[in-house]
Structure 1
Amino acid sequence: MAVPRKTAMAIKSYQNQAEDLVKSYLLADPFMPYTSVIGGIFLCKLVYDLTQLISTFYIKSYASLTKIQRIEWNSRGISSIHAIFITVLSLYFVFWSDLFSDQQLAGLVTFRSSSLSVFGLGVSVGYFCADLGMLLWLYPSLGGMEYVLHHSLAGIAVAYSMFSGEGQLYTYMILISEITTPEINMRWYLDTAGMKRSSAYLINGIVIFFSWLGARILLFGYMFYHVYLHYDQVIQMHIFGYMLVFAVPAVLAIMNLMWFGKIIKGLIKQLSKRQ
């Protein structure tokens, strides 16, 4: 049945108005930080509900979990999706995009940004806000003080970089470390599902070792080296941004080294049991 001409024109008119609203407000540069943060929080809620729905129907062991375990199961679904999204975007900006390339002469690298880079950081801020809220609401069931510290530092640094436009390159470099999150979550899923002695658990441990070494140890070293090479540009940042460039990665690097030590001990222990 054909749509009447007047109805079709009315639908087209509403569609055009909606597109103008999105372009003029939701995607406009002044509103982008706020809409992307709100969108990030909304997406966290959406992924949480989808994880719960899918797990209820397709994961047999899900129903036998405690209430706190189910909440953590669902929240890890959020962190995995966020990790995949922000890792892909970070790799693009750091290694493929011309936005932060030294060959581009349009301004200092420490002050470059784009609508897409702001949007990506905003979604990430929304995730850190949502996840930190869950950590504090259910503390310490979902993680101890080290997780609260990690999320607080990361959220503050990402939010400052998003709103100020400063140091976005270094923010995205650090966010590449989120590539280790899906592997960590998978390890928790395997453990919770009673598969700690499986080959999948061992393979997961090996993958965590190499991804952690690359993304949270070597990449941090590369970031500090990049700061050293571009110190004349870094020093022109606002004092708060300048301090964040050094303080936040330094604290996270120490935490990463501590966790890496535990990863090595756990992997050695697991491999020794296989012999």
Structure 2
Amino acid sequence: MVIQSYISHAELLLRNYISADPFVVYTSIIIGIVACKTVYELSHLISPVCFKSFFNLSKSRQVEWSNRAISTFHAVYVTIVSFYFVFFSDLYSTDIHRGPVTLRSSTSSTFVMGVSLGYFLSDLGMIIWCYPSLGGMEYIIHHLLSMVGVTYPMLTGDAQIYTFMVLLSEATTPWINLRWYLDAAGMKTSKAYIMNGVVIFLAWLVARILLFIYLFYHLYTHLDQVKQLHQVGVVLAVVTPSALSVMNLMWFWKIFKGLKKTLAAAKRE
């Protein structure tokens, strides 16, 4: 019975997608892929000029250098846009006349998710092509889950607000990538590396701890509207953030211990 329910919902989703204008979805995904390719090529052109240490890297690390440029670009883009939609856009305002906030979507919000999906497709392709230098199976699983988490609300319009809240956690990515760049450039003992650790700690606290607390508060206060979602939407809106929050807490503890150790070593010096 449960399997049949999911099959029926998938068929309904397909019919709704075909009956709707697919131009926005297709275009946004293509733009996301083209943007990733452009950033990768620009990174390969600019990095050797701006960073002499780039030539000292192996071929695989040069690829990862440019790959991290893509993830940084996507993180900055999706953080800014998600922040706007969650906290400033009228799309998810408290106006009850606009219907349940969990069912609201727009052409622009769908377009943003399509661009993000284009990034995940591009990055997944690079991970598989360069496997395992850019990441192991856990990265592939992460990207597949991320693609599901973005694709469903993009096509159905369900729980888009919670998808944007989760995407806001990408705010930590640029600082994590910067840490890798500093390490690759041989600056692991520099003050910049230490300051980067502090920023990662603060960014993680805000974007992956406090923000998720706000997400769960929003879920609780809009529980009647969450119940109007299909079972798939409920899982993505409730179970996925719950699982991510556990992982975020585990990593936050590791970041805290690492920062404490780094600061103690710097103080001794």
The alignment's TM-score, normalised by the length of structure 2, stands at 0.89
How much has 1:249 moved relative to structure 2?
1.2
Give the match for residue 232 of structure 1. Answer: 224
Q: Look up the equivalent residue of 1:238 and give its one-letter code.
A: H
1:211 has 2:225 as partner: no
Give SS of 2:200's match. Answer: helix
Instruction: From the superposition, tell whether residues 161 and 124 of structure 1 become closer, same or farther in structure 2 (CA, over 3 Å).
Output: same
Give the match for residue 135 of structure 1. Answer: 127
Kept in 2: contact 1:121–1:158 (CA 8 A):
yes
How much has 1:64 moved relative to structure 2?
1.3
What is the correspondence of 1:165-244 to structure 2 with a 5 Å cutoff? 165-244=157-236
Give the match for residue 89 of structure 2. Answer: 97
Q: Distance in 2 between matches of 1:264 and 1:133?
A: 33
Q: Look up the equivalent residue of 2:57 and give its one-letter code.
A: L
Structure 2 unaligned segments of length 5 or more: list them: 1-19
Q: Look up the equivalent residue of 2:36 and give its one-letter code.
A: C
2:79 pairs, out of 78, 84, 87, with 87
Q: Distance in 2 between matches of 1:182 and 1:117?
A: 23
Give SS of 1:82's match. Answer: helix
Q: Look up the equivalent residue of 1:83 and give its one-letter code.
A: A
Kept in 2: contact 1:135–1:143 (CA 8 A):
yes
Q: Distance in 2 between matches of 1:254 and 1:73?
A: 29
Q: Distance in 1 between matches of 2:246 and 2:94?
A: 29
Q: Distance in 1 between matches of 2:164 and 2:47?
A: 32
How much has 1:227 moved relative to structure 2?
0.8
Q: Look up the equivalent residue of 1:181 and give its one-letter code.
A: T
Q: Distance in 1 between matches of 2:238 and 2:137?
A: 22
Deviates more, 1:184-193 or 1:28-37: 28-37
Give SS of 1:139's match. Answer: coil
How much has 1:29 moved relative to structure 2?
4.2
- Map Cα deviations across residues 189-242 of structure 1 (whole Å, 9 max, x no partner): 000000000000000000000000100111111111111111111111111111
Give the match for residue 60 of structure 1. Answer: 52
Give SS of 1:143's match. Answer: coil
Q: Distance in 2 between matches of 1:102 and 1:136?
A: 43
Q: Look up the equivalent residue of 2:263 and give its one-letter code.
A: L
- Map Cα deviations across residues 40-59 of structure 1 (whole Å, 9 max, x no partner): 01110110000110012221
1:41 has 2:13 as partner: no
Give the match for residue 16 of structure 1. Answer: none
Q: Distance in 2 between matches of 1:228 and 1:236?
A: 14
Structure 1 unaligned segments of length 5 or more: list them: 1-27
Q: Distance in 2 between matches of 1:31 and 1:149?
A: 28
Q: Look up the equivalent residue of 1:210 and give its one-letter code.
A: L
- Map Cα deviations across residues 47-97 of structure 1 (whole Å, 9 max, x no partner): 000011001222101111111100110010001111111111001000011
Give SS of 2:91's match. Answer: coil
Q: Distance in 2 between matches of 1:273 and 1:185?
A: 23
Q: Distance in 1 between matches of 2:141 and 2:188?
A: 29
Q: Distance in 1 between matches of 2:99 and 2:158?
A: 12
Greater C-alpha radius of gyration: 1
Calculate the aligned-residue CA RMSD, in Å: 1.3
1:268 pairs, out of 255, 260, 264, with 260
Q: Distance in 2 between matches of 1:104 and 1:120?
A: 24
Instruction: From the superposition, tell whether residues 150 and 255 of structure 1 become closer, same or farther in structure 2 (CA, over 3 Å).
Output: farther
How much has 1:104 moved relative to structure 2?
4.9
Give SS of 2:90's match. Answer: coil
Q: Look up the equivalent residue of 2:120 and give its one-letter code.
A: F
1:145 pairs, out of 137, 147, 150, with 137
Q: Distance in 1 between matches of 2:233 and 2:127?
A: 26
Q: Distance in 2 between matches of 1:92 and 1:80?
A: 18
- Map Cα deviations across residues 132-156 of structure 1 (whole Å, 9 max, x no partner): 2222222321123333332222211
